[in-house]
Amino acid sequence: MMRRFAPVVVAIVLAVVAVVLWVQSRTTTTVTEQFPTTSSFEGFSVTYDSTRVAGPWAALSVIAAAVAVYLVMRVVRRR
């Protein structure tokens, strides 16, 4: 009986890992752009947050989610 539920438990753990890795993959940095003052133009600065997805973390997230879906489909097919 325990052996039958092992793939389900592993799938749940992998789904949680996939979510955590996806959240980890999104990195936010604060960027400040400086525009200098010239004779005809008053300088200013712009600050904004830049969010990007880091490749390795996103890839691991997709792989973990795919394995979780595979395990769930395998359990569903057996029944």
pLDDT in tens, 57-77: 788 888 888 998 888 888 888
Q: How many domains does the chain have?
A: 1
Please tell me the number of Cα atoms within 13 Å of 69 on its side-chain side.
7
- Portion of the chain with pLDDT greater than 90, in percent: 0
DSSP annotation of 36: -
Structure tokens that stand for 75 in this block = 């359990």
Q: What is the pLDDT of residue 27?
A: 74
- pTM: predicted TM-score of the whole model, two decimal places: 0.56
Which domain does 26 fall in, by range? 2-78
Burial class (CB in 10 A: 0-12, 13-18, 19+), 51: exposed
Residues 7-32 have pLDDT tens digits of 888 888 888 888 888 887 777 788 88
Looking at the DSSP bridge assignments, the partners of residue 37 are none
